[in-house]
Each structure stands twice: as C-alpha cells, then as structure tokens.
Amino acid sequence: MRLPGALSSAPPPSTPSSTPHATRQVLLRGLLGTAGFLAVVVLLVRQFRPQLESLGHGFVDHFGLAGMALGTFLADGFHCPIPPQFYMLLAVGSGTSDLAAFSVIAVGSLLGGLSGYTVARRLSRFPRLWRWLMRVGGRFQKQLEGRNAYRSALIASVTPVAFSVQCHLSGLYRLPLRAFVVILALRIPKLVLFYYLVKIGWAVF
C-alpha cells in the first residue's frame, strides 16, 4: 500500500518478509506479551490489592460503566496512555458485573479503533504523523504491505503493537475497510483473553 498525497515522497519502507519464520516470530511475540501481561497483573494484585479495590470502587462510584467505556474509547482511538486493561482491573477489583464491564469496554474499544482508523485516513497527508507512527509501530506496518489485505489484517492483529497504533496505521496505509473489520473482529477475543487473565491474576492472591 502506498501513502497518498505528501507522504508519497517519503522513503519507501523496507519489503517485509512473508516467510513462515516471520509469521512464527509475530506469534511468539504475541505469546510472550500475553505471558508478560499476566505476570504484571499478578505482581500488581500481590502488592497493591487493597489499593486497587479502593480505587476500583471509587472509580465506579464516580464514573460508572460510562467512564470505563469513555476511557477505553480514548485509549484505543487516540492512544491515551491508560489502556483498557486498567479498566478491567478496576472492574474486577470493585466487583462490578463481568458481563456489564466487559460489554462497555468492548464497545468503547471498537468505536475507538474505528474512530482512530477514520481520523488517520483523513490525516494521512501529514508527514509528521507518518513519522511518529512509523517510530511506534514499524513492525506492524510491515504486516500491512502484503498483497492479501485479509491475510495482512489477520497477521497484524496478533502483533504486540498497541491496538490504537494498529488502527492508526491501518488508516494511514488505507487498509480497505472490509479488511480492517477483521482487525476489529479479532479485537474481541483479545479483550476476552485480557479480561480472563485479569481474573486469573486477581484470583491467585
């Protein structure tokens, strides 16, 4: 995929490897990222369980489920530094209904991702944005250059790159909307996995 407008003058990115070895590397990074996330949750719960419970109750009392949805929307749409997993931890710590909390987090994530994709498509002519996204998501960018848009979306969705950056790069490289929907759809099982890991980490201690 080529960048439109002013970005066409930027140096062309390197040609990605489409070998099975490269795909295995992407999957391995995803597995390592998952294991690392669980380890962080267990460590946080072990060290700060009372504080997390208090923070969770305070957040839910003041902002409710709408606050979780808005926070996730900003995180996954506009790269807000507080990730959706934080709201999952607050939901579990406060004893909020798993179904209700997960539902609003999932909706916020999908709407945020779609918004980020749309905004990036519109801003794709700004070289400064392109350079920033290349710096934070260069590995993911390589996955978007394959000829098969659906395969590119499938592989790219399991990379450890932040979901917001995935969405921005997808819009920046004008990944077809029908292929981007694959990334959105695969976001759901990833959120389920994260929520389940948070539950496991909380139950350990």
3-state secondary structure of 15: coil
Residue 124 is assigned to a structural domain of this protein: yes
Report the distance separating Cα 119 and Cα 171, nearest Å: 7
What confidence score (pLDDT) does residue 161 get?
A: 72
Residues with Cβ < 8 Å from 103, sequence gap 6 or more? none
Report the distance separating Cα 112 and Cα 134, nearest Å: 20
Identify the band that residue 36 occupies on the pLDDT scale cut at 50, 70 and 90. Answer: confident
3-state secondary structure of 205: coil
Residue 129 is assigned to a structural domain of this protein: yes
Q: Are 18 and 154 in contact (CB under 8 A)?
A: no
Which tens digit of pLDDT belongs to each residue from 141-195? 555 555 556 666 666 666 667 888 888 888 887 888 888 898 899 899 999 999 9
Residues with Cβ < 8 Å from 125, sequence gap 6 or more? 4, 5, 6, 7
**What's the pTM?**
0.77
Residue 37 is assigned to a structural domain of this protein: yes
Give the mean pLDDT of 70-96. 93
Residue 9 is assigned to a structural domain of this protein: no
What residue numbers bound the domain in which 83 lies? Answer: 20-204
Residue 183 is assigned to a structural domain of this protein: yes
Residue 172 is assigned to a structural domain of this protein: yes
Total domains in the chain come to 1
3-state secondary structure of 114: helix
Residue 198 is assigned to a structural domain of this protein: yes
Residue 94 is assigned to a structural domain of this protein: yes
Q: Are 34 and 190 in contact (CB under 8 A)?
A: no
**The token pair that represents 32 in the structure block:** 């390592």
Residue that is written with structure tokens 């294991």 in the block:
35
pLDDT at 51 over 50: yes
Residue that is written with structure tokens 């807000």 in the block:
80
Number of other residues whose CB lies within 10 A of the CB of residue 124? 21
